[in-house]
Amino acid sequence: MMYYHYIIMKNLPLISDDDYAVRTQITLTKNIKKLVNKHARTTGESLSEYLRKAALVRILVESKDINDLKKLANRVVGSVDLKRHPEWRNEKEIQKWVRNLRSEW
């Protein structure tokens, strides 16, 4: 549990020890609520605590995904020699390539 708390605190500076719970109304389907309650009981957590943690985990995962995509983009940008690429040599070739790509969708 402490490790989880450390990860959250390290990655989400908006969360602090002096933060407090604010009542929030959400809507779940009957089956989702049943499933979440079942999993929350196995960990000894309330429905609220379980959903708070699930929200934080999703934020962390999405933040990591965005950072990974940014790193990938930074590695790829500038790595292609446009003059040597068979489909990107000039604007006309690029437009043809885009049309062909879109026709596949």
Is the pLDDT confidence value at 1 over 80? Answer: no
Mean pLDDT across the stretch 19-27?
86
> Domain spans of the chain?
2-11+27-79
Q: Give the model confidence (pLDDT) of 58-80 as tens digits.
A: 887 787 777 787 777 777 777 77
Arithmetic mean of pLDDT, 47-61: 86
Q: Say whether pTM exceeds 0.75.
A: no
**Residue that wins the pLDDT comparison between 29 and 15:** 29
Tokens matching residue 28: 């779940």
- Residue 25 DSSP class: -
Instruction: Please answer whether residues 91 and 43 qualify as being in contact, where contact means their C-beta atoms are separated by less than 8 angstroms.
Output: no
